[in-house]
Structures are given as structure tokens and as C-alpha cells.
Amino acid sequence: MLFSVQEANAAKTPADTNVSNQSPIHGQARDHKWWLRVSIYAIFVYCGESVATLLGRLYYDKGGNSKWMATLVQIAGFPMLLPYYCTAPTPKRPFTNSIIRSKPTRSALTILSVYISLGLLNGAVCLFHSIGLYHLPVSTYSLICASQLSFSALFSFFLNSQKFTPYIVNSLALLTISSILLLFQADFADPSEQVPGRKYVVGFICTICASAGYGLVLSLTQFAMEKIVKKEAFSAIMDMTLYQSMVATFCALVGLFTSGDWKVLRKEMTGFRLGKFSYVMTLTWTAISWQLCNIGAVGLILEVSSLFSNVISVLSLPVVPVLAVIFFHDKIDGIKVIAMVLATWGLMSYVYQHYIDSRNSKKENKRINDTRETASLEAENSVVKL
């Protein structure tokens, strides 16, 4: 699944924020090449996540049944990040402040244990996502996934000193109500249909667990970057991504073989209703789509910020239900429409709060820069007078 490192602006002092803000983006004009790169990365995130989710549903609909294979393709494509890791332009400054850079880093064993722990958790999150998508219509699944913002904010409150503002509280409430409304659909599900009530509940619970786990991964990643790794340079973010994916891939492979799913893959390929070639292409393009999404997320962190990367990722969620109606003929009843409206409203409320934070941060940075420039001019004038 998507990785992301949330920004810790609330934990920074104004001076630290000023130092971290002096990037090529803020220090130079944003020319057309910069806008082109950002647009391409945003398209990677937006389309990668949407296409990967739809292909995951296609895999199940046309005869695929292995949850472990569906889990594996979410993360096994991480080697695609290696060329980008080696060729991406190195930013002129780390993604953190000078105070954190001056602190000694932890031992390699400690950092390795962080990678392993987060990788295991990430593997479990991908498995829960696979089970949830197996039991639920893709439109319902995507709407429930929007609740990851609620869990991210909740865990950030305890782990990252996240402050609850009225807009954040409003977002949490709306996303929670949206998920509860979708749960009521289980009571009206017809046992003769593809998703009977019991399977619907199982899918709902697994998707909620996946969203909660993803929110926990985000908060723990931020906590680890601040307290253990103690740097947020581009290389550190890529290391966190690659090693997590490596551990999660290993876990998925172990699950695939210990569960016995690998024994039926050939039979599954033969029975795939679109043919063997389409079976391979579905899994291949699912893996590629997820990794394009990851490349876009890392690129947006490099060019703009992790906050902007998170926003682009989240904004793709309300689009998937619309695409599901077009390609999979999902039913959109009154409850689902209300849930979609509430989820979109909650997402916009969450995004708007971060927009306010970003605007306030820029004003504070400008004030500090103006103060420093004034002090520098006064010092120069004093030297001239002397």
C-alpha cells in the first residue's frame, strides 16, 4: 500500500520551521518544469491508487481467490523504486531541521528493528485490505478506506502531539458516521446475492482494521523518523519505504506458501475467466500501479511536502466508487450516496485544516525572515557608522 510520512509542523519551533522551509521550492521560482514534475507525480498517485484498487477487484471477480497473492502484488513491486532512488535529484537540504540533524543517530540494530516492525505491520495492513476487497463491492470498500484519516488523526494525537481543531473533529465525526451507515447495509443484504450479510460484516471489519493499521503505520513512521532515525532526508524516506516493503513482501511470501495458496495458483490461472495471459497481466499491472503510486508519493515529498502527497492520495478515494459503477456496475443506493457525500465532506474538512496550517506556517516564516532581514540591515548600518 501507499507509504507516507506525515509532517510534524506542530512539533517544530518557528526557527526550525524557517530552516526546513528553505528548500529549492521556496527559495527559487516555480517554473513550468517544476509544475510539470509535480503534475506527473500527482497523476501517478491519483491514477495508480485508483487503477490498482479496480484491478484488485477484477482479479477477484474473474476467478482469483488467493488473498495472499492479492497481498503480495500490493508490495512486491518495490524494486521498481530502486532506479528512481538512484537517479532522483538530491534535494539541496534535508527534510528536517538543524536541531534534529545535530543529534546522534541510533544504532543500526535499533533502526533495523524499526524497519522490521513497521514492515510486519504494513504486511498485515495489506492482508486486511485484500480480505476486505474480496468480500466487499469496490465502491463500499473505497468509502470505508476514507476512515484512515480518522485513525491517522487519532493515533497522531497520542504519538505525534496532533492537536484536535474544530475542522479535524468535524472530519472525524463525518467519516465515522459514513462508515457506520455502510455497516447498516449488511442488515439488508440478500443471502442469494454475491455479498451475503456475514461476509459483508467480515469485509467491513477487515477494511476498518486495514484503515486503522494504515493510520498507525503513518503515525509510527513519523514517530520513528523524529525520535529514532532523526532525519527526514530523501534517502532516509526511501530507506524507510524500501526496507518496509522488503519485510512486508517476505511476510506475504511466507503466508502464500504456508497457507498452501501457491499450490492452487496454476489452477487459478487456468480457470481465470479472461484467460491465462489476462491473469498474469492483471497481477502484473496491479503491482505496477501500486509502485507508480509510491513513486508519485515519494516524488511529491521531494518536490513539495509529505502533506501534499497525503492530500493527493486521499483525494482519489471518492473517485473509485464512481469508477466502480461504470466498470463493475456496483449498485449505488441511498445509503451509499449519503455515505459518499459525508466521506467527501469529511475529507475536504481535513484538507482545509491542513491548508490553514500551511498558510499560517508561511505567514510565520515570512515574519521571521522579515525580522532577520531587518536585524541584518541594522547590523550592517551599525558597522558602516562605526
For the ranges 213-217, 349-353, 377-381, the one whose mean pLDDT is highest:
213-217
User: What's the whole-model pTM score?
Assistant: 0.76
- Percent of the chain residues topping a pLDDT of 90: 19
Asked whether 307 and 6 are in contact (CB, 8 A), the reply is yes
Lowest mean pLDDT among 47-56, 74-83, 173-182: 173-182
Lowest mean pLDDT among 27-41, 52-66, 67-81, 328-342: 27-41
Higher pLDDT, 178 or 191: 178
Is the pLDDT assigned to residue 218 strictly greater than 60?
A: yes
- Percent of the chain residues topping a pLDDT of 70: 77
The pLDDT-based confidence of 106 (bands split at 50, 70, 90) is low
The amino acid occupying position 319 is V
